[in-house]
Amino acid sequence: MIGILGGGQLGRMLALAGYPLGLSFRFLDPSPEACAGQVGALVVGDFLDEEALSRFAEGLDLITYEFENVPVEAARRLEGRLPLYPPAKALEVAQDRLREKTFFQGLGVPTPPFHPVEGPEDLEEGLKRVGLPALLKTRRGGYDGKGQALARTPKEAEKALRALGGKGLILEGFVPFDREVSLLAVRGRAGEVAFYPLVENRHRGGILRLSLAPAPGASEALQKKAEAYALRAMEALDYVGVLSLEFFQVGEELLFNEMAPRVHNSGHWTIEGAETSQFENHLRAVLGLPLGSTAPRGQSAMVNLIGEKPPFAEVLKVEGAHLHWYGKAVRPGRKVGHITLRRDGLKALEEGLARLSRLVSELPWEGV
């Protein structure tokens, strides 16, 4: 039995990918309404509650996690009892934006300029080094655009400093990028690796709305560059499982933005759009099984459903559309499902996306 820390939709999709392999699952989540509980055993409890951790761990063969804000202390406690993949060290890096940027910079991976901020003096020094415009972010927590503010002037930077608590921050130079892309990589227990094609990601309001896979027009050189950066990170962390790296693309250069030590939203297209999904490959990796092919099946688009439930029948009328509903209550700003559109060519994909754009609000589709 595999234990999964977290009971959201990523855990749910891991379990759905694992059942054909004869696997069983148990989740640990603080919420009794965690949607993964609909497809597997759910232990409800705080991640640092020793009694809950013990109930969760009993009888498990190994543990993985489905989101990167699991307390490192909980991961360390469990790592002492059972195999835990990816390693807790990866959580430590991913949970602190300053540590994350420093780690990748140390690997020789280009990043935007950044500076730690613990008060007004640091902010002043950071603005000199980083320049304006700049993004001021909390070092910990925050996702989907939360915990950050764009500053175009020194006054706006000072206002952002106060709004974000005045310390525990990182100032990053704003990058005028061409587009945002991500790479999903997977590394097995024996060190074998595989890479999915680069994916183009489009956001609205800081939330991922649309992924295009493979990223249209991405060169082989750009793909190889991203793979080399991911390989350095995985080897340095002795990583096992799926790792997602997000980049800003500027011409043929990639600037590292952030990592996620888990299966990732920008990889949901792989369920229908690749020979082996990211979820199955993560399970194969942590179990020491042979990795599956990451080859794409034609062209795919993944459309996030954020706080809305479109008419299912109309969605399914679109040729090549596959609907995934997570079993969550619909609330504003909440990821409640996704649609994967898979077609054999880019023109057919564009036609399908044009139809979906009339069914899903906030879909950033203006063509490739």
Task: Detail the residues annotated as belonging to a binding site for ATP.
Answer: 97, 137, 142-148, 172-175, 180, 203, 257-258
How far CA 318 is from CA of 297, 311, 323, 352, in Å, comes to 18, 12, 11, 6
Burial class (CB in 10 A: 0-12, 13-18, 19+), 122: middle
Q: What phi, psi does 299 have (nearest 5°)?
A: -110, 140
By the 8 A CB rule, do 180 and 218 touch?
no
What 3-state DSSP class applies to 157?
Answer: helix
Could you tell me if residue 173 is left (phi over 0), alpha (psi between -120 and 50 degrees) or otherwise beta? Answer: beta
Query: Parallel, antiparallel, or unpaired for β 207-213 and 299-306?
Result: antiparallel
For every residue of 275-321, DSSP letters joined together read: SS-HHHHHHHHHHTPPPPP--B-SEEEEEEEES----HHHHHHSTTE
Query: Parallel, antiparallel, or unpaired for β 253-260 and 2-5?
Result: unpaired
Helices (H), 38-193: 50-57, 72-79, 88-94, 97-106, 120-130, 154-163
All residues at 6 or more sequence positions from 264 whose CB lies less than 8 Å from its CB, including other chains: 182, 184, 242, 244, 278
Measured in whole angstroms, the distance separating CA 147 from the mean position of its chain's CA atoms is 17
CA-closest candidate to residue 87, choices 105, 103, 110, 64? 64
CA-closest candidate to residue 292, choices 280, 303, 304? 280
Torsion of CA 126, 132, 137, 143, to 10 degrees: -150
Q: Which residues are annotated as a binding site?
A: 97, 137, 142-148, 172-175, 180, 203, 257-258
CA-closest candidate to residue 253, choices 181, 335, 185, 361? 181
Burial class (CB in 10 A: 0-12, 13-18, 19+), 36: buried
By the 8 A CB rule, do 138 and 169 touch?
yes
Locate tokens 């888990």: which residue?
262
